[in-house]
Chains A and B, each alone.
Chain A
Amino acid sequence: MLEIKNLHATVGDKEILKGIDLKVPLGQVHAIMGPNGSGKSTLSYVLSGRAGYDVTQGSVSWKGKNLLKMTPEQRAAEGVFLAMQYPVEIPGVSNMTFLKTALNAVRKAHGQSELDALQMLKLLRGKAKAIGLSEDMLKRAVNVGFSGGEKKRNEVLQMAVLEPSLCILDETDSGLDIDALKVVADGVNALRSQGRSMLIITHYQRLLDYITPDAVHVLAHGKIRKSGGAELARELEEKGYAAFEGEAA
């Protein structure tokens, strides 16, 4: 279970997260919705350990371990995966090399043997096929020259290969047309399992048409303002975030 208690975080001098409490049981998919500037992306960076996001109060534990004491790569080894809103380009490094390096780093952290080139190739081909990615994309440099949709699908591919237990999807739906959205949602749904929790961060409800969450939380002004079932998302879609906009902490 992911357990966030009274989490406060600052960026520079500004407090962005102002006491978040959240529990995501193993196997569940929770959505975090909120207006722009509510702290959604900050939450995803704090959970994954990005430098420059300082936790001033509170705690985050995942499967009973204190995440906040770990480096980003240690968190990755503990199963934390952040599908980014803006996946980063790495020129000259093929997708395949990137995935191989990442998977072997995580395997090593778990005391498993590294996969050799052939085993890796077989694994990657299978995973790519399953989410409808051409093999050609494995050979291309990481995210370089990828369309918006390809970048997001590439994030899902990485998720499928690394098999994390806590998936955080930060605005994965942004910049996607409806077809690309479906492909990404299918990929995510295929990864839903008893042993995996997901936190879907989104501004719009439309991704949740395809990925039905077990719970929805509204984040505004750095705090969870309301929680409910999947129906809360549709309610927000109709009424907007206006009800939460005024409530500055």
Chain B
Amino acid sequence: MSSNAKILAEDLSEQKYKYGFVTSIEEDTAPTGLSEDTIRFISAKKDEPQWLLDWRLKAFHQWQKMTEPTWAKIHYPKIDYQAASYYSAPRQKNKPKSLDDIDPQLLDTYAKLGIPLKEQEALAGVERRVAVDAVFDSVSVATTYKKELESHGIIFCPISEAVLKHPHLVKKYLGTVVPVADNFFAALNSAVFTDGSFVYIPRGVRCPMELSSYFRINAQNTGQFERTLIIAEEGTSVSYLEGCTAPKRDQYQLHAAVVELIALDDASIKYSTVQNWYPGDKDGKGGVFNFVTKRGACRGKRSKISWTQVETGSAITWKYPSCILQGDDSVGEFYSVAITNNYQQADTGTKMIHIGKNTRSTIISKGISAGHAQSTYRGLVKVLRTAKGAKNKTQCDSLLIGDTCGAHTVPSIESRQPKSRIEHEATTSKISDDQLFYCQQRGLSPEEAMALIVNGFCKEVLQELPMEFAVEAQKLVGISLEGSVG
């Protein structure tokens, strides 16, 4: 590597994390430790019905019998589950009735993060609007456009509220895509989950705006265990985005989420993530441990679930958004950009399980590693005997910046259906000095050049993001202009 590329790699690895501030607000925090009492405490805080408490306790008992998975290519200090707190919420005298009642400290926090908590009038020619559910530590502090969405029959609210107001829906679907004991972290989440978003799109409705959730970890030494459930009834479509940030802290923070998506006949769910958890400092100190189970079930015929993720944060990422393609002619997609630098480690990928006839899946994964980071794509394409005519196309590209990082690809393919077609392509490349010099010679600074080249590398994935978020993602990737013309 030339000196030029080396300087750049260092530059990139010392980029400042802009969302590392702490909101000083009084919070009610549960004592550290995890026991049945902790779970009863959380359940009581949320006024939950008995059935959910029983469900949590069952999950907890199963979790106690499970062991942490070790197959991923990630190394981290042993997590002491008794040393963390499992609930933390800003202290509020009364539950805010409208946005005006929300603690200004919180409004200020979201303003700093660039998340709009004010609703805008629908005006012709104005960009599409975005409804936001803002989750701060263990609770949702605000959800916008609820009323307008309700007029379409759409339910968009914190899951804790859905448990109380729409128990039949929650009961019917919760844990049906990711069973309680699916894996160690999913079981933990099922036991102690606090808040997250609930989306229900009734039959035949196309959601008129983007829905989004913004997860913020603020409290120290507190894990965030969010739970999201999205149900798209027959003939519906919805686009949902989640964003995540956390303050800079020296200690590791645990985040173990579960996301379940259900698409019935002819329904389409687009789920996008721009994940910017604090990645730790340049020596690998601190950062979020992100152990997430995301899974979508294409239960209906011709249904479609599309995952797009831009992963820039977390010290550790363990995440495999997957699709179970049950319905005939259903479609699963996974588009991923994972950027790791310094001592970040990402083990991420997807599972596409083909069950129905003529099911199709597409996987495009772009891994970028800099500094001492390690990035692994881990994927499974499984075609069952029933999935006649199934097709999969997988493309995994890795880009290395500098010579101290690593990229790994672990694809698994299992097919029991001879009449299926599976394609897999993988490449590994480096940003060349030729490319950097070429851009610089045309007037770009090395940073601009790097951003442009990386952006080009990720283009196929970034263009899958909803317009509203593409810009943020491009900036995150360190990008200025790609895609704004032409």
Interfacial residues, chain A to chain B (CB-CB below 8 A): 48-52, 71-73, 75-77, 80-82, 84, 86-94, 96-98, 100-106, 109, 117, 120-121, 138-139, 141, 158, 162
Contact = CB atoms under 8 A, between A and B. Distances in A.
Interface string B447-476: 010001101111110000000000000000
Interface in B409-445: 432-435, 437-445
Given A101-B482, A105-B444, 12 more contacts: A48-B441, A49-B441, A52-B2, A72-B441, A75-B441, A91-B456, A92-B459, A94-B485, A103-B443, A105-B443, A105-B448, A141-B456
Contact of A139 (B448, B482, B486): B486
A101 B453 contact: no
B443 A73 contact: yes
Interface of B: 2-4, 432-435, 437-446, 448, 452-453, 455-460, 480-486
Contact of A100 (B4, B458, B485): B485
28 contacts: A49-B440, A51-B433, A72-B437, A72-B441, A73-B441, A73-B446, A76-B442, A76-B443, A80-B441, A88-B432, A90-B438, A90-B453, A92-B457, A92-B482, A93-B455, A93-B459, A94-B485, A97-B452, A97-B485, A100-B485, A101-B444, A102-B443, A102-B444, A105-B442, A105-B448, A117-B484, A121-B485, A139-B486
A98 B486 CA distance: 11
Nearest to B482: A97
Nearest to B7: A51
B215 to A, nearest CB: 30
B456 A101 contact: no
A95 to B, nearest CB: 8
A93 B420 CA distance: 34
A93 B452 contact: yes
Contacts of A48: 441
Contacts of B483: 97
B441 A106 contact: no
Which DSSP category, helix, strand, loop or mixed, fits chain B's interface?
A: helix
Contacts of A84: 438, 441
Contacts of A50: 437, 441
Nearest to B454: A92
B452 A90 contact: yes
Nearest to A45: B437
A17 B350 CA distance: 55
Contacts of A88: 432, 434-435, 437-438
Contacts of A103: 443
Nearest to B444: A105
Contacts of A93: 452-453, 455-456, 459, 482
A76 B455 contact: no
Contacts of B442: 76, 81, 98, 102, 105, 158, 162
A158 B442 CA distance: 8
Given A48-B441, A76-B441, A109-B443, A92 B456 contact: yes
Contacts of B2: 51-52
A88 B458 CA distance: 18
Which interface residue of B2, B4, B481 has the most chain A CB atoms within 10 A? Answer: B481
Contact of A91 (B437, B440, B457, B484): B457
Which interface residue of B2, B4, B440 has the most chain A CB atoms within 10 A? Answer: B440
A100 B486 CA distance: 10
A77 B443 CA distance: 6
B485 A87 contact: no
A71 B440 CA distance: 8
Contacts of A97: 452, 481-486
A82 B441 contact: yes
A76 B442 CA distance: 6
A109 B486 CA distance: 24
Contacts of A96: 485-486
Which interface residue of B432, B456, B484, B486 has the most chain A CB atoms within 10 A? Answer: B486
A51 B437 contact: yes
A51 B435 CA distance: 13
The 8 A-B pairs at the shortest CB distance, nearest first, are namely A92-B456, A93-B456, A96-B486, A102-B442, A72-B440, A92-B459, A76-B443, A105-B443
A117 B452 contact: no
A93 B462 CA distance: 12
Given A73-B445, A90-B452, A96-B486, A51 B3 contact: yes
Contacts of A105: 442-445, 448
A97 B441 CA distance: 16
Contacts of A120: 485
Contacts of A81: 441-442
A91 B443 CA distance: 19
A100 B460 contact: no
Nearest to B397: A91
A103 B481 CA distance: 12
Nearest to B462: A92
A170 B453 CA distance: 24
Contacts of A121: 485-486
